[in-house]
Amino acid sequence: MSRLLFIDDDIDFLEVMTLFFEKNGYDVETATTPEAGKKRIIDHKPDLVVLDVMMPSEFEGFELAREIREDMKLTDLPIIILSCIHDRKQVPYRFAPDKDYLPVDVFLDKPVNPDVLLEKVKSLLGEYREEPSHNL
């Protein structure tokens, strides 16, 4: 069973994602601050991290993603950023994964359809399996 870590300061979002991903066979950990998220990464060694950007300051998620890659040296840990920063901040540009400035694997805008997020998680974890055409 793959372990996911959701780091977000929105408790309701964490509860919904926990229920959805546990129903789909994942072990889910949550954290509401970057500091708690770093501790959970060290203690629980998740297979993938889903990270918010704005918690409670404006760009903590970006900073945490860089810390995970650079300070913690976890270059192979898949990271998905979910954020409503494009809507809330009305920035004239779009954030996207970038090896040097935004070292994440996927950037999705909130609100996100849980099924879309599930597909991204499966893809990053290599969990796609072809269903057999007949019963074994």
Across the range 67-87, mean pLDDT stands at 83
Name the pLDDT band for 30 (thresholds 50, 70, 90): very high
- Amino acid symbol at 46: P
Sheet holding 48-52: strands in order across?
Answer: 27-31, 3-7, 48-52, 79-83, 106-109
Where in the chain are the domains? 3-125
Provide the pLDDT confidence category of residue 86 given band limits of 50, 70 and 90: very low
CA distance 117 to 122: 9
For the entire predicted model, the pTM comes to 0.82
What's the CATH superfamily of 3-125? Response regulator (3.40.50.2300)
- Where helices occur in the chain by DSSP H, the ranges are 11-23, 34-44, 60-70, 85-88, 114-125
pLDDT band at 122 (very low <50, low <70, confident <90, very high): very high
Mean pLDDT of 96-109: 70
State the pLDDT at residue 136. Answer: 56
